[in-house]
């Protein structure tokens, strides 16, 4: 019989813990949550004080059966799930399902998986923290109610299969509103003036004007004065400066820094950090705290003094910026500072080393810098040019954490030294609106506004992209001409350069679906979409967690006004919800033409839904919007599909625009014609693309048995298909040698694809 049974939520965590606890302990895993709210009506019983009706997850029945057997064999059961609200809820669910008394069952938590931390936890067990469980259930119920009641409104009024989430929808709103700000921005032109001077010893000194100029006339006048001027050093200013390390990582700052320095998405960062924690390499990675334990501070002190010397050490403590900082009691840090590198793969190692460097830097001396500014005057104008440099006098914490850029060391000069102008240039630039969000900057914004919890940001950002409200991508920008004036000797030349104005990469863009859904929700569910209200809900959840607020009261205060809005939404017209706009009337038929949001995004519609014959549809022209498309543009789109001509064997070639861009279709074969325009593509161009497509299809076709069964070259290698099922070809078999009978046999052995059942997912 096992004296002690320890239950954790992760198999990897169980494996690490078992190494430290010894032979008197058996460690088992629940493999995550064992119960949840099913995606069906009534899972939260509003009439019965919002009682949640949990069900055992279908894939956890075997796990529970095995755990029940282990419980019967044990003298003592220890619940050791993670130390946050989610972990507390898992412990409570385990107690409920395994028939353990929450008031007496031993609950242990630890910030790191080390022998000393586990020994300390076992010496100081507690019971399940019910206020934490209540807070988690309140969040779960809120998200369920919003998702289950608001999503069907979107289905009826906007488009089927859409979804809404309490935090998800507000996050999308941030991105939509930022895009609106960018669209509303009017570019303003300014000129940046730069020059290069030569010292008497031949050393070159680059300099920049201390101000930007508004017009080309201004900079031309300055360059004309420069052509006649003598130059000299007007002033030299040297200033000492210091740079101090940032606080140790919290969940949010780790996600931001891993994105900026390593290019990891918040979701990848959390997955990697989870693995590092489960392997006992770092402390718990879901935390708002910037505190470091006394043991960690002592270990860092010894390491820094031993490796770098006394002068590199400086003791510091940090205070959390958020008044609601909670969850774990320590920042994210390595478990052993003697390990500079650790992890099961390259990505884990990179993240671990970033955590190691950031944590160690917090207890190191500030960097000492010297900033130098050399001011340069001209005899014929008041324009001052400046050369700026910065050097590190003492690297301090930068020795571990590193710095971006190199020292800029300026040459030694004296006030009054003459300088010779080698060249000068004035380059026009166009102002841009506020920057689009990256995943990292969106995390920072959500944290600043108190929306959601840092532990949920990664899943929220992933959800809004998965559901098609937001895309991470690139923008080509639009070509714009800017002016450049250059001075060489006494000659000024002016040329034009073309730039891609508005070019952007790796940013978050709202989709048309995201815009329409956000506009609808902001207009009709302003209460739910309000930033301050969403933040206040988080504060109330925090108060439930510490026993200051009642779960039922918080849910009641939220649900009553919310449910009233849901009931009132029945009166909202579909035309209003889909932003239907009357563009004008077709001069030939007299039918009205509308721009509206349809099943696959913005579209044009000619005729009313009730008309007979039924209305016809066309996509919006590229680059246009529902609110800006003109009647002239719309009429052009209704000229499609256009018959371009015929193939050699008499088949019609028709050009059109679809969901994925412009294309031609011959019989049932679709051929992309990007970047050609379906209105203007010629027969020769269409035939060339058609022939290339046929050639590609032929090369892809290894064998065709004539009854629908084919052997094709696929993205991941050759495969057999009958149009419904795909079968793999054994690695040791030459694809071309597979017979018709063998192909049929392999298809029969391949199981049919499972039908995916759509469920309402509630974003936290």
Nearest to 164, CA basis, from 188, 179, 147, 180: 147
| Residue 496 domain flag | no
| Residue 710 domain flag | yes
Please give the full DSSP string across 55-121, using - where no structure is assigned.
Answer: EE-GGGHHHHHHHHHHHHH-SEEEE---SSHHHHHHHHHHHHHTT--TTTSEE---SS-SHHHHHHH
Kindly tell me if the per-residue pLDDT of 681 is higher than 70.
yes
Nearest to 199, CA basis, from 424, 486, 421, 381: 421
Kindly tell me if the per-residue pLDDT of 371 is higher than 60.
yes
Q: Two tokens at 79? A: 């619940």
Q: Are strands 504-510 and 581-585 parallel, antiparallel or unpaired?
A: unpaired
* DSSP label of 334: B
Kindly tell me if the per-residue pLDDT of 757 is higher than 60.
no
pLDDT, tens digit (0-9, with 9 covering 90-100), for 523-571: 999 988 999 999 999 999 999 999 999 999 999 999 999 999 999 888 8
Judge if 675 and 722 occupy the same domain. Answer: no
Q: Two tokens at 509? A: 């863009």
Kindly tell me if the per-residue pLDDT of 108 is higher than 80.
yes
Judge if 718 and 683 occupy the same domain. Answer: no
| Residue 759 domain flag | no
Tell me if residue 10 falls in helix, strand or coil: coil
Portion of the chain with pLDDT greater than 90, in percent? 64
Q: 128, 153, 178 — which closes off a domain?
A: 128
**CA–CA distance, 371 with 392 (Å, rounded to integer):** 9
Position 754 confidence tier, pLDDT thresholds 50, 70, 90: low
Judge if 617 and 650 occupy the same domain. Answer: no
pLDDT, tens digit (0-9, with 9 covering 90-100), for 566-594: 998 888 888 777 778 899 999 988 899 99
Cα distances (angstroms) measured from residue 9 to each of 17, 33, 119, 210, 444: 12, 7, 19, 59, 29
Q: 365, 390, 422 — which closes off a domain?
A: 365
pLDDT, tens digit (0-9, with 9 covering 90-100), for 424-467: 999 999 999 999 999 999 999 999 999 988 888 999 999 999 99
pLDDT of residue 327: 44
pLDDT, tens digit (0-9, with 9 covering 90-100), for 649-668: 899 999 998 877 889 999 88
Count: domains in the chain: 6
Judge if 334 and 414 occupy the same domain. Answer: no
Portion of the chain with pLDDT greater than 70, in percent? 97
Position 320 confidence tier, pLDDT thresholds 50, 70, 90: confident
Judge if 335 and 375 occupy the same domain. Answer: no
Kindly tell me if the per-residue pLDDT of 700 is higher than 70.
yes
Average pLDDT, the chain: 90
Please give the full DSSP string across 11-61, using - where no structure is assigned.
Answer: HHHHHHHHHHH-TTEEEEE--S-SEE--SSTTSEEGGGTTEE--EE-GGGH
CB 83 within 8 A of CB 110: yes
Judge if 113 and 259 occupy the same domain. Answer: no
**CA–CA distance, 187 with 183 (Å, rounded to integer):** 10
Q: Two tokens at 441? A: 């900057």
On the question of a cis peptide bond just before residue 125, with omega within 30 degrees of 0, the verdict is no
Kindly tell me if the per-residue pLDDT of 194 is higher than 90.
yes
**CA–CA distance, 232 with 562 (Å, rounded to integer):** 70
| Residue 723 domain flag | yes
Kindly tell me if the per-residue pLDDT of 324 is higher than 80.
no
**CA–CA distance, 502 with 738 (Å, rounded to integer):** 53
Kindly tell me if the per-residue pLDDT of 20 is higher than 60.
yes
CATH number at residue 277: 1.10.290.10
CATH number at residue 418: 2.70.20.10
**CA–CA distance, 17 with 26 (Å, rounded to integer):** 10
| Residue 465 domain flag | no
Position 380 confidence tier, pLDDT thresholds 50, 70, 90: very high
Spot the catalytic one: 284, 352, 469, 559.
284
pLDDT of residue 600: 72
pLDDT, tens digit (0-9, with 9 covering 90-100), for 335-370: 999 999 999 999 999 999 999 999 999 999 999 999
Kindly tell me if the per-residue pLDDT of 204 is higher than 90.
yes
| Residue 565 domain flag | no
Length of the chain: 764
Judge if 193 and 342 occupy the same domain. Answer: no
Q: 608, 629, 650 — which closes off a domain?
A: 629
Kindly tell me if the per-residue pLDDT of 294 is higher than 50.
yes
pLDDT of residue 321: 67
Lowest-confidence segment of 363-377, 497-511, 714-728 by average pLDDT: 714-728
Position 763 confidence tier, pLDDT thresholds 50, 70, 90: very low
Q: Two tokens at 551? A: 């779960």
Q: Which residues of 117-153 are buried (b: 16+ CB within 10 A; e: fewer)?
A: bbeebbeeeeebbebbbbbbbbbbbbbbbbbbbbbbb
CB-count burial class (<10 Å; 0-12, 13-18, 19+) for 592: middle
pLDDT, tens digit (0-9, with 9 covering 90-100), for 234-286: 999 999 999 999 999 999 999 999 999 999 999 999 999 999 999 999 999 99
Catalytic status, residue 284: yes
Judge if 237 and 372 occupy the same domain. Answer: yes
pLDDT, tens digit (0-9, with 9 covering 90-100), for 477-488: 888 999 999 999
Please give the full DSSP string across 401-445, using - where no structure is assigned.
Answer: H--SS--BPPPP--TT-EEEEEEEEEEEEE---SPPPPHHHHHHH
Kindly tell me if the per-residue pLDDT of 85 is higher than 80.
yes
Judge if 745 and 665 occupy the same domain. Answer: no
pTM of the model: 0.80
Judge if 16 and 118 occupy the same domain. Answer: yes
Which residue range(s) make up the domain with 239?
A: 189-244+368-430
Overall average pLDDT of the 23-35 stretch: 91
Judge if 21 and 86 occupy the same domain. Answer: yes
pLDDT of residue 254: 96
Judge if 113 and 36 occupy the same domain. Answer: yes
Overall average pLDDT of the 465-471 stretch: 92
């Amino acid at each position: 019989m096992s004296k002690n049974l320890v239950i954790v939520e992760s198999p990897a965590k169980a494996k690490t813990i078992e190494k430290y606890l010894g032979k008197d302990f058996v460690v088992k895993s629940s493999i995550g949550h064992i119960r949840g709210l099913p995606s069906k009506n009534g899972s939260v019983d509003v009439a019965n004080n919002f009682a949640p009706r949990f069900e055992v997850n279908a894939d956890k029945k075997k796990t529970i059966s095995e755990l029940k057997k282990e419980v019967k064999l044990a003298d003592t059961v220890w619940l050791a799930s993670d130390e946050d609200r989610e972990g507390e809820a898992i412990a409570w669910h385990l107690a409920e399902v395994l028939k353990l008394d929450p008031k007496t069952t031993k609950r242990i938590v630890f910030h790191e998986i080390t022998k000393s931390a586990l020994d300390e936890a076992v010496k100081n067990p507690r019971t399940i923290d019910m206020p934490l469980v209540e807070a988690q259930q309140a969040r779960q119920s809120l998200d369920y109610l919003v998702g289950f009641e608001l999503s069907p409104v979107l289905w009826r009024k906007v488009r089927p299969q859409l979804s809404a989430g309490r935090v998800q929808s507000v996050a999308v709103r941030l991105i939509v509103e930022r895009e609106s700000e960018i669209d509303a921005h009017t570019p303003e032109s300014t000129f940046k003036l730069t020059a290069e001077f030569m010292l008497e010893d031949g050393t070159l000194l680059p300099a920049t004007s201390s101000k930007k100029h508004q017009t080309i006339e201004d900079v031309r006048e300055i360059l004309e004065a420069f052509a006649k001027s003598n130059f000299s050093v007007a002033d030299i200013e040297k200033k000492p400066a210091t740079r101090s390390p940032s606080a140790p990582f919290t969940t949010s700052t780790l996600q931001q820094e891993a994105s900026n320095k390593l290019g990891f998405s918040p979701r990848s960062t959390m997955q990697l950090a989870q693995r590092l924690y489960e392997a006992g390499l770092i402390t718990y990675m879901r935390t708002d705290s910037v505190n470091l334990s006394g043991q960690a501070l002592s270990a860092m002190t010894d390491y820094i003094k031993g490796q770098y010397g006394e002068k590199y050490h400086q003791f510091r403590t940090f205070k959390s910026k958020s008044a609601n900082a909670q969850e774990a009691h320590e920042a994210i840090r390595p478990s052993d500072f003697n390990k500079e590198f650790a992890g099961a793969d390259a990505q884990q190692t990179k993240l671990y080393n970033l955590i190691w460097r950031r944590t160690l830097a917090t207890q190191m001396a500030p960097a000492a810098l010297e900033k130098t500014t050399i001011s340069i005057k001209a005899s014929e104008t008041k324009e001052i040019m400046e050369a700026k440099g910065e050097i590190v006098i003492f690297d301090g914490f930068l020795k571990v954490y590193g710095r971006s850029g190199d020292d800029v060391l300026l040459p030694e000069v004296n006030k009054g030294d003459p300088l010779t102008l080698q060249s000068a240039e004035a380059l026009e630039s166009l102002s841009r609106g506020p920057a689009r969000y990256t995943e990292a900057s969106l995390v920072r914004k959500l944290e600043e506004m108190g929306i959601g919890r840092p532990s949920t940001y990664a899943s929220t950002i992933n959800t809004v992209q998965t559901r098609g409200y937001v895309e991470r991508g690139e923008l080509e920008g639009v070509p714009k001409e800017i002016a450049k004036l250059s001075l060489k000797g006494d000659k000024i030349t002016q040329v034009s350069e073309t730039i891609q104005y508005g070019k952007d990469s790796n940013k978050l863009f709202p989709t048309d679906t995201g815009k329409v859904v956000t506009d609808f929700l902001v207009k009709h569910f302003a209460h739910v979409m309000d930033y301050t209200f969403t933040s206040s809900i988080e504060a109330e959840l925090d108060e439930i967690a510490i026993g200051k607020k009642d779960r039922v009261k918080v849910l009641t205060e939220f649900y009553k006004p919310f449910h009233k809005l849901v009931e009132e939404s029945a009166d909202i017209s579909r035309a209003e919800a889909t932003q239907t706009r009357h563009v004008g009337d077709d001069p030939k038929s007299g039918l009205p033409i509308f721009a509206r949001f349809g099943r696959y995004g913005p579209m044009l519609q000619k005729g009313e839904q009730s008309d007979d014959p039924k209305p016809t549809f066309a996509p919006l022209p590229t680059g246009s919007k529902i609110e800006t498309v003109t009647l002239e543009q719309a009429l052009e789109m209704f000229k499609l599909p256009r018959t371009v001509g015929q193939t050699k064997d008499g088949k019609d070639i028709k050009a059109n625009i679809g969901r994925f861009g412009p294309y031609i279709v011959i019989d049932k074969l679709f051929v992309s014609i990007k970047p050609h325009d379906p209105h203007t593509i010629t027969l020769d161009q269409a035939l060339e693309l058609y022939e290339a497509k046929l050639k590609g299809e032929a090369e892809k076709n290894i064998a065709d048995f004539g009854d629908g069964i084919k052997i094709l070259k696929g993205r991941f290698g050759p495969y057999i298909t009958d149009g419904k099922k795909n079968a793999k070809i054994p690695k040791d078999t030459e694809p071309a040698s597979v017979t018709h009978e063998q192909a049929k046999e392999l298809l029969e052995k391949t199981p049919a694809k499972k039908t995916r059942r759509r469920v309402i997912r509630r974003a936290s």
